[in-house]
Amino acid sequence: MQKPLQFTIVMVFLLGVFLTSGNFQTAHAQELIQNKVETVKAQVLEILSQEVRNIPGTETSHDFQKIKAKILEGDQKGQEITVDNDYLSLKVDEIFYLRHETDGLDGREMYAVSEPYRLPALYGFISLFVFCVIVFGGWQGLRGLIALAASFVFIFYLLFPGIMHGYSPILVSIGVSSLIIVLGSYVTHGFNRTTTSAVIGMVTTILFTGALAYYAVDVTRLSGFSSEESVYLNFGTNGTIDFVGLLLGGILIGLLGVLYDAAISQAIAIEELHKIGPHLSRAFIFKRALRIGREHIGALVNTLAIAYVGASLPLLLLFYATTDSSFSLNLNRELFATEVIRTMIGSIGLVLAVPITSLISVLMLVKHHVVSDKRLVSKEQEAIEHVSHTH
């Protein structure tokens, strides 16, 4: 009895190993066989049905369509298919992007609406923007467009590859920001002392702001993983990117627009003040330029903060609608804290740009003059002071 029993146990064990091995190999083979996915353009031929349904498990309703569409490109060009659409309501003859997925094992084909075809509208608005800039901005506007195009070249061919190759995002961002500042300023405003003073002021401000941003991110212990995109990018790059540095770089890049505006305005204001009052001292022109800068700061800080609010409006509404947590708890969350730091550092950088650029511009643009009639200068200064007090 023992030998047959032992033989049976051994055979059962070997059979189990064989079946387990076969299942493992089959599962492993399934993992290696990937589905074929392509996205092609298609056109709506007919709306077969349309109704409002609730999302399963919720009471949130959404539109649901069954449409007949014609594929416009790819291997199945000209083929008519039926697809369920629960993404957005489409119209007859509307062109959209269709996701076509083919199962790698049984060849089963699945279709889904991916995106509406927005490119014609996007190209139209880009053309309108270029037209308005050239017509109303003239040669200066055209040079600004050239500088804008060069900035995107720097971002796509220097910033992105540098970060993806493992270089420090903060160092790469500072370097690319400086290049954008230098090229954009000289292409738009020409090679002169006024532009140079503004460039030096902006680069100096970027360095100060970068150091402050580094400290702010460190003391608030931000990880850089405040969005789903960061998580996906981390897995996609096998954890080779420094996401804290990426967050810092994003803060600096986002600051460039308003920083450029403030620095150039201050440098030009000082140049004009010196032209109309060449006998005025550096200290007096610096003082008057700061007053101009304060008005600019008041407008731009408000603009910057509101712009961040607009960009984060869904996030803010989500926190507003959340009643099971306090305001302080929501404010402490990294998703919200990141936007607060981004706004505060950007605003501080903008504020610092005014005195830094003003000081550098005064030293570079305002020349010393020997004034023969000090009483005339005193009266002019009193008149300017009187005007400023009345405002």
Helix (H, G, I), strand (E, B) or coil at 381: helix
At 321-375, the pLDDT tens digits run 765 667 777 778 887 888 888 888 888 888 888 999 999 999 998 876 545 445 6
Mean pLDDT of the chain: 79
At 309, is the pLDDT very low, low, confident or very high (cuts 50, 70, 90)? confident
Q: Which CATH number fits domain 36-117: 2.40.50, 3.40.50, 3.30.450, 2.60.120?
A: 2.40.50
Tokens 């090229």, located at residue: 183
- In one-letter notation, the amino acid at residue 239 is G
Q: Which of 111-120, 213-222, 370-379 has the lowest mean pLDDT?
A: 370-379
Query: What's the rounded mean pLDDT across residues 155-176?
Result: 85
- Is the pTM value of this prediction over 0.85? no
What pLDDT score does 378 carry?
Answer: 65
At 44, is the pLDDT very low, low, confident or very high (cuts 50, 70, 90)? very high
Do the beta carbons of residue 187 and residue 264 sit within 8 Å? no
**Where, residue-wise, is CATH 2.40.50 in the chain?**
36-117
Distance CA(282)–CA(194), nearest Å, equals 15
Residues composing the chain? 391
Taking domain 139-385, whether its CATH number is 1.20.1640 is answered by yes
The token duo for 176 is: 């690319």
**Where, residue-wise, is CATH 1.20.1640 in the chain?**
139-385
At 379, is the pLDDT very low, low, confident or very high (cuts 50, 70, 90)? low
- Strands, E assignment, 109-197: 109-116
